[in-house]
């Protein structure tokens, strides 16, 4: 989307200083980090993955709501970003307010791209492909009611597609039939023959957009929120950094809540996205433990 990037740069300031920390349960948020870095190469961007509690999609609401604010606070304390981005639909739709209340810096959330999908659909039927956690959130239901009340929205949750996306991104063997199976319930549901737009409501899913498109029974548009998150992040960062010096040092760190030795798949993929330094999130009061450069 070159034209979109050119237009965006004319309408909003592109910051050249400051630090952003992009957070997800696994590697899906790397797609958001890539969008941010492409639009503002002068800022420092770090990444964080809650590898010690992955995947979020099959965890209870209570467990996530208790964990997320504390993990966010520890990450911010260690990484010292100016803006914290929750690049995870499950975490954002469940605990965005709690994380914002815990942190003293701006927090950018991720929500399913239902509004742009509703605007793009010509048939009046859209699909929402997400994790089961995002599907059942009241936040998601409220978005549908606000932006797609006059449309038919077919929802389907898939944990298997998260795992499939990670395997594909890491270059590991995978079953191509899984891409068809992961979205087939949307097309088979009542009204599914009229679906023309599918919302990729998990940041892992853009990693396999091409594979999903090839496996679909007919052409449809796939929409995610990565570009919108990047634009909002840079708007907020520009305001935050006005009249302030930027944090020193380059980006490129990936913080993990489990030993990087046990997360080699994510570490390998993170390097491909420009994050070569694996860092273990330490308990409060302990010094940062930096692992060997990959």
Comparing C-alpha atoms, which of 180, 178, 133, 135 is closest to residue 155?
135
C-alpha span between 39 and 34 (Å, rounded): 9
Instruction: Report DSSP state, residue 57.
Output: G
Among 88, 155, 186, 200, the active-site one is 88
CA distance 253 to 64: 24
* Catalytic residue, candidates 96, 202, 254, 256: 202
Q: Is 236 marked active-site?
A: no
Cβ count near 277 (within 10 Å): 21
CB 191 within 8 A of CB 155: no
The CB density around residue 242, as the number of other CB atoms within 10 Å, is: 9
Say if residue 55 is preceded by a cis peptide, omega within 30 of 0: yes
3-state secondary structure of 174: coil
Q: Dump the DSSP string for 206-270.
A: GGGHHHHHHHSSS--EEE-SHHHHHHHHHHHHHHHHTTSPPPSS---EEEESS-GGG-HHHHHHH
Q: How many residues does the chain have?
A: 294
Q: Is 109 a catalytic residue?
A: no
Residues known to be catalytic: 88, 202
């Amino acid at each position: 989307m070159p034209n979109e990037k050119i237009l965006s740069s004319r309408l909003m300031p592109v910051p050249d200083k400051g630090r952003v920390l992009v957070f997800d349960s696994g590697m899906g948020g790397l797609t958001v980090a890539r969008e941010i870095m492409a639009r503002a190469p002068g800022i420092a961007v770090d990444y964080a993955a809650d590898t010690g509690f992955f995947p979020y999609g099959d965890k209870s609401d209570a467990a996530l709501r208790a964990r997320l604010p504390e993990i966010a606070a520890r990450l911010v304390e260690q990484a010292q970003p100016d803006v914290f981005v929750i690049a995870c639909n499950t975490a954002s739709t469940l605990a965005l307010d709690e994380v914002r209340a815990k942190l003293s810096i701006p927090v950018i959330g991720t929500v399913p791209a239902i509004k742009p999908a509703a605007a793009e659909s010509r048939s009046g039927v859209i699909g929402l492909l997400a994790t089961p956690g995002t599907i059942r959130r009241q936040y998601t239901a409220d978005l549908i009611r606000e932006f797609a009340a006059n449309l038919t929205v077919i929802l389907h949750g898939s944990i298997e597609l998260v795992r499939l996306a990670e395997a594909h991104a890491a270059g590991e063997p995978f079953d191509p039939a899984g891409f068809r199976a992961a979205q087939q319930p949307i097309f088979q549901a009542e009204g599914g023959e009229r679906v023309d737009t599918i919302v990729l409501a998990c940041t892992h899913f853009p990693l396999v957009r091409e594979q999903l498109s090839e496996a679909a029974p007919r052409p449809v548009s796939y929409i995610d929120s990565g570009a919108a998150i990047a634009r909002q992040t840079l708007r907020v960062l520009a305001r935050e950094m006005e009249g302030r010096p930027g944090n020193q040092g380059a980006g490129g760190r990936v913080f993990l809540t489990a030993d990087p030795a046990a997360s080699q798949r994510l570490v390998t993929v993170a390097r491909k996205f420009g994050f070569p330094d694996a860092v273990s999130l330490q308990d409060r009061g302990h010094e940062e433990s930096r692992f060997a450069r990959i």
